[in-house]
Amino acid sequence: MDYLGEIANDADTISKLCDRLGRSGKPLAFCYEAGPCGYGVHRQLTRLGHRCDVVAPSLIPRKPDRVKTNRRDATMLTRLNRAGELPPVLVPDADHEALR
């Protein structure tokens, strides 16, 4: 598990990342916290044939930690997802999301 840094929420950037990571022939699995950006990333990744779980931030087990960094959060999210300890949320299709 290598930390790749922050990645822009941009369709081209995400597609290039998938191409680069998918070269090994292994299936890719992604996970991210639900947030105000919607589910566009989830839809793009599943269209590309990858697994993507969206988890509710309130369901992520956290230990008290005074230092909060994106790197630590991403590493913890990866470990918990691999262990199967993160229940994914239901991702609505684009039409249902637009109704909200």
Which residue is listed with tokens 């249902």?
96
C-alpha 55: how far from its chain's center?
8
Element (H, E) at 17: helix 11-21
Short-list 53, 62, 5, 63, CA closest to 30: 53
Residue 84 φ/ψ, nearest 5 degrees: 75, 25
Q: pLDDT tens, 22-64? A: 887 777 999 988 888 778 899 999 999 999 999 988 888 777 7
Which residue is listed with tokens 């044939």?
49
State the pTM of this model. Answer: 0.73
Task: Report how far residue 23's alpha carbon sits from residue 37's, in angstroms, rounded to the nearest whole number.
Answer: 28
Higher per-residue pLDDT: 2 or 71: 71
Task: Report the pLDDT value the prediction gives residue 1, as an integer from 0 to 100.
Answer: 61
SS3 label, residue 76? helix
Residue 31 φ/ψ, nearest 5 degrees: -150, 135
Task: Report the pLDDT value the prediction gives residue 97, as an integer from 0 to 100.
Answer: 77
